[in-house]
Chains A and B, each alone.
Chain A
Amino acid sequence: MSVEQDFSVFVRHPARGVAAMDLVVEGVHCGGCMTTIEKGLKAHRGVRSARVNLASKRVTVEWDEGAMKPGSIVERLDELGFPAWPFAPEAAGGAEANEERRLLRALGVAAFAMMNIMLLSVSVWSGDLSPATRDMFHWISALIALPAVAIAGRPFFDSALRAIRQGAFNMDVPISLGVLLALVLSVAQTLQHQQEAYFDSAVMLLMFLLAGRVLDQRMRRRTRDVATNLAAMRSETALRILDCGDAVETPIAAIKPGDLVLVRPGERITVDGLVETGRSDIDQSLVTGETALGEAAPGRAVFAGTMNMTGALRIRVDKAASGTLLDEVNHLLARAVEQRSRWVRLADRAARLYAPVVHVTALATFVGWLLAGLAWQPALVIAITVLIITCPCALGLAVPAVQVVCASAMFKRGVLLNSGEALERLAGVDTIIFDKTGTLTLPKAEIANLAQIDPRDLAHAGALAAASNHPLARVIALASGARAPSDAREAPGQGVEARVDGDCMRLGSASFCEASDDQRAGAALWPDASVIYFRHGERVVSFAIRQALRPDAREIVAGLAARGFAIEILSGDRVEAVAAVARELSIATYAAGLKPADKIARLEQLKAKGHRVLMVGDGLNDAPALAAAHVSLSPISASHLAQAHADAVFLGERLAPVAAALALAGKARRLMLQNLWLSVAYNAIAVPIAISGHATPLVAALAMSGSSILVTLNALRARHARGFAP
């Protein structure tokens, strides 16, 4: 049955009479694809413009209002060979883009100012100038530096002010102080016709730090773009039933509470709500981790993410289903987020140690020179020089540079980080807890006892299965590749019956196939599977169907255990099902049948013993545990709530990204510490020079750029991490 798609929620109106839509396009790799899409769309009547963004794999199309249906753009792109999904650009994405633009503008201003001031400074350093010319050069430098710092320094000043107002302390406080003092000192020196001014140092410092921040912001936006694209490609829709009785396929974003939604058998339920009419079995594995089927009947609550198996349901959409699982999960989540111990980032801890030491040193220098008999003015100049030279340029880059390089290395291995500090937390992990359903196993099913089934039985059963829409039947049909017989008759909720080669055959539940207790006993070997029976004459064959393990789960879990991580399974599923998976993966510690609160209790118990736990989970029921754990990962197939509370999301069917993330995080932490020590070493050399009064602007410029480049080069080594299974 073909249903009309309603894309109106994605359409923007940038001007009168113009409609526009953004789409995610799959398979755009090069300039050729780009031209094909743009030309192909522009050939369409009414299309005003089409522009592909190759970096983010998106297309923006504008057309004359009313000239065509939005759906025909998707059709046209399909014809061109590029499957496309419309999406609504999020408001949060716009804020990110604005922030990036702001930083980029600041960087442009700082770079311009630095180049011009350097031009003048080099002339001053060469030393051949008459005092009048030198003064003029200093004044011109001031003229450029003061407005440039006022513009380019804003990101740091704002952040430093925010921190101080909250009584906190971050790296931007000493940075701002250093830059401002350098400017004040330089202006004072210029007024007194002195030889030395630090305009170049102030601007150079800003330039280096801004370059780091722009890269950081760019990495974050790229991660977010990919996440938005993946969400759009999952393109969740629901069949909304209109008042006139027609059904329209509507994007989830346009569904409102109170709407009536039809879910056919074999479809995923995409809304939360109460069943109004219809009965069915539903697979709740994504929500509760339970692989046994649940029951849906009028008046029962159903959740987004569950799979409707056997009968059509009409669901009244209702977000605020109180007293339900969702309610409990939300309640636990609020508490877990609140209780998550405030993690102090490495850079901030360094800043906390560093700033007092530097400020005390500067003060001691001032007092020391006074006691040594110097007048207060030159003594103050030397003290401020100490502050300028210790301004944490390398320290400010030490951690972000590693984060940027490491996040892009993770990106290549299929891990999308939600925050930079997740890297630091990942590095400290000693215990890994896996959820079972959807995390160790895949959301798709396989026949567990395929080896024991006669190929002829499989072919016959597959033929019958092909006639059914039931998800379990589809697995058998897929495995056999057989085609449906013409006279198959489906008994809803029971099975399929057909006559093949003159014999009557049945496929379905145990009672439908009249399986004896003896014949049922075979299925007990597969406690974690759903069983379907096939009857051919007197013979009864059972098909045990269960969720497949991720293809590399065994090696990855073994590899992690070998590297000394304690590994556990906490699952909401039945104990037999969990035990089977634990045995297969040789995981000794597991717990089954857990509620979200039980998972948190286990986490707290481990935390009390001093363990740092990585939680890997996907279900709605895992969300509180993901938020409560030291650090957490989610597969991309996870429920929205779980993804929102995970520190990182991994792509694909394999478990390898989990191991890669841990290995890279360990390496990142080592590099961050190395970088911090490098900046300490730099200070150990530069500070004595400054204290003794021998620091000149030339020394400051060389030291700053030298240490920044060293730290950045060191960070680049994070691209290559060894020591994990490929």
Chain B
Amino acid sequence: MNILIILLPVAIGLGVCGLLACLWAMRTGQFDDLEGAGWRAIADDDLPEPSKQEIKPLS
């Protein structure tokens, strides 16, 4: 049962990490616009200029 001494803190530690991440996301307003966030992930405005031209004919 000595393995518990490692496993329990690890399990709880991971949980705390998740909780802190959730609180951080909340404080920085990431739950304010759930629809927009989905679109931002697939927006291609961060691509370098040349590759943008390559993509254009496809659209």
Residues of chain A at the chain B interface (Cβ within 8 Å):
30-31, 34-35, 39, 52-56, 101, 104-105, 108-109, 112, 115-116, 119, 130, 133, 140, 144
Please determine whether A53 and B32 come into contact, CB atoms closer than 8 angstroms. Answer: yes
A53 x B36 contact (CB < 8 A):
yes
Contact B16 A112 (CB under 8 A): yes
Q: A34 vs B45: C-alpha distance in the bound complex, in angstroms? A: 11
Contact in complex: B19, A34 (CB < 8 Å): no
- B33 at interface (Cβ–Cβ under 8 A)? yes
Closest to A133 in B: B1
Interface string of B3-21 (1 = CB under 8 A from A): 0100010011001101100
Enumerate chain B residues within 8 angstroms of A109, measured Cβ to Cβ: 19
A140 touches B33 (CB 8 A): no
B46 CB to nearest chain A CB (Å): 11
Q: Is the CB of A116 within 8 A of B15?
A: yes
Supply 8 A–B pairs (Cβ within 8 Å), ascending by A: A30-B39, A35-B43, A54-B35, A54-B39, A55-B33, A108-B26, A116-B11, A140-B8
Q: How far is the CA of A30 from the CA of B43 in the complex (A)?
A: 11
**In-complex Cβ contact of B19 among A52, A56, A108, A133 (8 A):** A108
Main DSSP-derived SS at the B contact region: helix
Number of A-B contacts (CB under 8 A): 54
**Contact residues in B for A116 (Cβ distance below 8 Å):** 11-12, 15
CB pair A108 B11 closer than 8 Å:
no
In the complex, per-residue mask of B29-59: 1 if CB is within 8 Å of any chain A CB, else 0? 0011111101110110100000000000000
**Chain B residues packing against A (C-beta within 8 Å):** 1, 4, 8, 11-12, 15-16, 18-19, 22-23, 26, 31-36, 38-40, 42-43, 45
Q: Report the minimal beta-carbon distance from B2 to chain A, rounded to whole angstroms.
A: 11
Given A52-B36, A105-B26, are A112 and B19 also a contact pair (CB < 8 Å)? yes
- A-B interface, 10 closest residue pairs, ranked by CB to CB distance from nearest: A31-B39, A54-B36, A112-B19, A108-B22, A54-B35, A53-B33, A55-B35, A55-B33, A116-B15, A112-B15
Interface contact B23-A39, CB-CB below 8 Å: no
A101 to B16, CA, bound (A): 19
Residues of A with C-beta under 8 A to B31: 104
Q: Which residues in A have their C-beta under 8 angstroms from that of B15?
A: 112, 115-116
Q: Which residues of B contact A133 (CB under 8 A)?
A: 1, 4
B39 lies within 8 A of A55 (CB)? no
In Å, the complex CA distance between A662 and B33 comes to: 31
In the complex, what distance in Å separates the CA atom of A35 from the CA atom of B40? 8
B39–A105 touching, CB < 8 Å? no
CB-defined contacts of A112 to chain B, threshold 8 Å: 15-16, 18-19, 22
Alpha-carbon separation in the docked complex, A115 to B4 (Å):
17
User: CA of A165 to CA of B46 in the docked complex: distance in angstroms?
Assistant: 57
Expressed in whole angstroms, the minimum distance between the Cβ of B51 and any Cβ of chain A is: 16
Q: Cα distance A585–B25 when bound, in Å?
A: 55
Is there an interface contact between B42 and A31, defined as CB atoms closer than 8 Å? Answer: yes
Q: A54 to B43, alpha carbons, bound, how many Å?
A: 14
Query: Is A101 a contact of B26 with CB atoms below 8 Å?
Result: yes
Known: A55-B33, A56-B33, A105-B23. A31 touches B16 (CB 8 A): no
Q: How far is the CA of A35 from the CA of B36 in the complex (A)?
A: 10
Q: How far does the Cβ of B26 sit from chain A's closest Cβ, in whole Å?
A: 6
Residues of chain B with a CB closer than 8 A to A101's CB: 26
Give the chain A neighbours of B32 by CB distance below 8 A. Answer: 53, 55
> In the assembled complex, how far is the CB of residue A709 from the closest CB belonging to chain B, in whole angstroms?
23
The distance in angstroms between the C-alpha atoms of A116 and B11, with both chains bound, is 8
Residues on B with beta carbons closer than 8 Å to the beta carbon of A130: 1
CB distance from A397 to the nearest CB of B (A): 22
Q: Could you tell me the distance in whole angstroms from the C-beta of B21 to the nearest C-beta in chain A?
A: 9
Residues of B contacting A31 in the complex (Cβ-Cβ under 8 angstroms): 36, 38-40, 42-43
Residues in B whose Cβ lies below 8 Å from that of A53? 32-33, 36
Contact A144 B12 (CB under 8 A): yes
Q: Given the complex of chains A and B, what is the CA–CA distance between A119 and B11 in angstroms?
A: 9
Q: Which residue of A lies closest to B14 (CB)?
A: A116
Contacts of B16 in A (CB 8 A): 112
Task: Using A31-B36, A104-B31 as known contacts, list a sample of 18 further A-B pairs with CB atoms less than 8 Å apart, ordered by residue number in A.
Answer: A34-B36, A34-B39, A35-B43, A52-B36, A53-B33, A54-B36, A55-B32, A55-B34, A55-B36, A101-B26, A104-B26, A112-B18, A112-B19, A116-B12, A116-B15, A119-B11, A130-B1, A140-B8
A residues near B1, Cβ cutoff 8 Å: 130, 133
> In the docked arrangement, what's the CA distance between A31 and B1, Å?
53
Assess whether A35 is in contact with B23, with CB atoms less than 8 Å apart: no
